[in-house]
Each structure stands twice: as structure tokens, then as C-alpha cells.
Structure 1
Amino acid sequence: AAARHALDAELVRAYIDAMSAAHRVQLLDGAYRTASEARRVSDERVRAGDVAGYAGRRLRLEEGRYAARLADVVVQARATRERLALLTGVPAERVAVPTLATADSTGTAFGALLDTVLARATVPLALTANHADSLVARALATRADLLGAQRDAQAGLADARLAARERLPLPAISAGYKGEHVQSGANAAGVSLYGFVAGFTVPLPLLDRRGGAVAAADATARQINAEADAVQRRITREVLDALSSLRSAEAERAVLQPFTGAESRLALRAVQAAYAEGEITLTEWLEAVRAWQETELALLSLTTNIVLRRAELARAVGLSLFSSTDSTR
């Protein structure tokens, strides 16, 4: 059960990473196309004599920077697909990873897509509302690795008790029926005796050498019990750390959320139009595009981390990440 649960958690992480990488490609592809369009506008203005040639050369450098970053995230996206293919046994080219439309490739839309895709997975959305103590108690009651460690400790204690009992001498009780014929003389008739017999013996442990085996079994039982206690403390720490990380990520996203989404997309289009009409300088355009890109990428990272940490919290608590149907998994 613990191995199956760990595999489910690894699969969820790989799938979310693949979705996040695919969306990151979309975001950087949009930034690259924005830089290409700005360079085209700048070239037209240079030919018309409205601006100096520096603007065109500067935009070519900016376009190359976006192209390099786009190539890097494409490689990362391919690596995440190959990892997901390795886990599922499906060829990488056939791995289906849902993406957004190019016109709606914002961090907010990506968060909505994640929630939709993972709706069938039982990654609990309300775990953060529970008190930490209740989550720890639930984890200690359901984690398969802790149950296994506790059963190992019980088995070690039983072995120690058995070794101690084997040290004690075991009394023996015997019973039977005996018949005997006694010949009293050469010419005299013999006498036959018949009857039941019983016996009781207790061996004396004068040379008992099992003291070392008893001590070894007792030490092994204590070691296994200490390991079970260590597993319990580790699980408690995992639950508390996962809950703290999730709440921190959610707080960060709440701060960033108002500055992203449809409004930021409209602001970017307004900046592009203003630069095309010559209302703003190249420096202002570069700052605006970079601010939009950094904000959207930050929201993308936070959204991905929240879902990953939510899945990690569910794993730490011992909850199933999928329903009982194999088709969902």
C-alpha cells in the first residue's frame, strides 16, 4: 500500500510538472512573438526615419534573449514529458498534456485548468482548513509505512518474549500402561503384574547458555520499536512542513493574484499599441513587457507549487490521491 501510494504521488508530481512546463512554453512563446512584433514595428520606423537604428538593434538583442529562454523551456518541457512517459509506459509523443489557448495563456487561466484537470483526483482542497493536530492524528492512523513499522515492532516484541520463554525449563509428564511377568523359580509358576504408570520430571538448568540469545532478541525488539517511533516523528514533521509550505504559497499567490489575468493582458496590449504609435519609448516598452512576463511566470510557479504542495500534504496525511477506479489513475 505504501509503495502504491508513493507511485501515485510521483505520478501526480510528474503530470503537474509536465502541464506547468507546457504552459511556461506558451508564456515565453508569447513574449517572443511580442518582441518580434516590436522589432518589426521598430524596423518600419527606422526606415521611415522616425527613430534611430539603435532601437532596432536593441530589439534584435531582446528578441534573441527571448528565443534563448524559449528554447530552454522547450527542452525542459520535453524532459517532463519523457519522465511522465517513463512512469506511465506511454510513448512520450503520445502523452496527452492539456494546454490553454494561446490567447488565454495567463497564470490565472492556468490555475483554473489545473483545478479542472485534477478534479477527478482526490487532492483535497479543504485540507488547509483543518487544524494541524487533526491532520497529524489522521496521518498517524492511516499512513501505511507507520502501520508496517508498528507491526514490525510487535513482531520483534513477540520474538523477544519467545526467546525469554525458551530459556525456562519445560517439565515433562509421562503416562503409560505396564505389564511384567516375574519367574520366581525354575519349577514355580511365574507372576504377572499389570498396571498404569505415571511420571513427572523437571530438568535443572545448570548449564543454560541462552542468556545471550534472550538479550539479543530484547535489544532487537527495542531497536525496531525505536525505529517505529522515528517513523512516527518523521510523519508528524512531514505533515506540519507540508501544511506550512502550502499556506505560505497560498498567501504569496493571494498577494500576486490582483496584478495578473485579463487586466494584465489588456495592459500589455495597450503598451504594444502605444509603442507601435510612438507614444512610448523603447525603454518603457521593454520594462512593461518584462514586468508582465515576470509577473505571469511568478504566478505560474506559485500556482504549480500550490498544487504540488497540496498533493504532498495529502500524501503526508495518508489520503489517496486517486479514487478507487483504475481508469482514473
Structure 2
Amino acid sequence: MTAAHSSSPSLNALTTAVAPVIWGSTYLVTTELLPPDRPFTAALLRTLPAGLLLVVWCRRSPAWGDWLGWWRLLVLSALNIGVFQALLFVAAYRLPGGVAAVVGAVGPLVVMGLVWGMDHRRPPGMALAAGALGVLGMAALLLSPGAHWDGVGVAAALVGTVCMAAGTFWSRRWRSDLPVLAFTGWQLLAGGIMLAPVAWLTDPPLPALTAAQVAGYVYLSLAGALLAYALWFRGIARLPSVAVSSLGLLSPVTAVLLGWAWLGQAMTGVALAGMLVVLGSILAVQWAMSRPGASVSELSKQ
């Protein structure tokens, strides 16, 4: 795994950060371009085509006799793709404007809890404090005047965030010998297959799609799944899982900024302060986890 960690932590963090920035645009694309009330279809069309493309391109798979490897792959596919993407779009349809993404601030705390509970290692105090600040920033964004939300949407976003955080943690512990693109492709393919019967049984059929709607689905699949997940899993292989999870906070920041820039959604002083707190917490976690000794035992599990 020496090559996997040869790049500088700062460059790896910047590259990984592209993924949550792309994911932050999901809410704008969903509410402005996609047909209404089809969350599971959107999740399916985002993941399955991207997974097929990567699997066909890479032509690599876990050994067919490696049952443990396949079982782990299916669990990761459910956490990172199937369940997470389904709940992501449920939240996106019910919480336009990116409020759903704000709930993602709990993700780093979930990962820290798993690191503490499973690895019996207490995360650095700076990382814990920064994670708590991220939650406070989330609350400021979520509860600022003019924010629109409902209980089902927030619950979907919260459960989805917990699944994604657990997937981030276990993806590092269960890292396979597959190249990153193949590892990404098989997860997207398996997660898409899990979503197919749910979309078929739950969502109404798609209408005749306009050019804008087709463009929305293509963007979500190629940028939001193929590119973003490849960068995300690359980051998981090269950075501590707590540091990777904290970068997920860029998703709510991006969603709020896009809502302000494209939809004219007001940004109050409270919301702006919350966003600055979230950004500060991301930088603090990256700094804390890059210090010598902060991630040695985690890297040794590769």
C-alpha cells in the first residue's frame, strides 16, 4: 500500500473534496431538472449505468471463490450506494434547497464513534471538538429563519448519513485488492441492482423525458456517481476515515451556496455563520488527523 499513500495529505484531501462538492449539487439538479416524485428511479439511474460502465471498462472482479470478499462488497454496496442513494433522493425531493445535506454534519461524529468503539482508539481531541462544531454549524443552517424542512425528509437524510459514514469506515477496514475504479464500479453495480426492484414497485413510470431531464440524469450518473465515488474511495484508501468523512460537510455548504446563487434563496446572518463554522470544522479535522501519530494505527489496518 506504499503507492496508495505516496501523495501528500493535502493533495489527497483536495482531490477527495471534489466528491462532496459534486454531491452538494444533487439537490439543485433534483428539484430543478428531474421529473417529480421519483426518488428511487433517480437513485437507480444515477448508480446502475455508472457501475456497468466501470465494471465493463475495468474487467476486474473479486475472486469468485472469495465468499467473504463478495459478502463484504455487498454490505458496502448497500451502505454506500443502495440505502444511501435511496434516502438521499427521498430527502432531496422533500427538502429542496439543500437543507437535507446539512444533516450530513453528523457523519464525522459517527465515524469517530466507530473508530473509538471498533478500534478502541480515541480520536484526537481537536477532531472531536471540530466535529461538534460541525454539528453546531449544521444546526445554524438548518434552523435559520426561512429554512423549509419536514420530519420524513430530515429522518431520511439522517439515516442516509449514518449509512454513508458506516460505509466510509468499513470501506477502509475491508479495502480489497481491486483497483479503485473496479472497487467503485462493483459497488455502484450491486447498489443499483438493489435499487431496481424498489424503483419498479414504488415509483410511477417515467414520462417522456425532456432534454433537460436527460441531461440531469446523465450528470448525476457520470459526475455524481462515476467520478465522485471514484474520488471518494480513492480518498478512503489514502486518508484516515475521520478526515474523509469530515470532507462530506462540503456537501451542505455547496448545496446552500447553489441555492443562494441559482435559486435566490436568502442567506441570513445565522446561516452564514453556520456555514463558516462548518468550513472551520473541516479544516480543523484535516489538521488534527494529519498530525504525526493521529492515523498510524488506522493506516496499519490496510
Q: Same fold (TM over 0.5)?
A: no
Q: Which structure is higher in RCO with an 8 Å CA cutoff and minimum separation 6?
A: 2
Structure with greater strand percent: 1
Structure with greater helix percent: 2
Bigger-Rg structure (1/2): 1
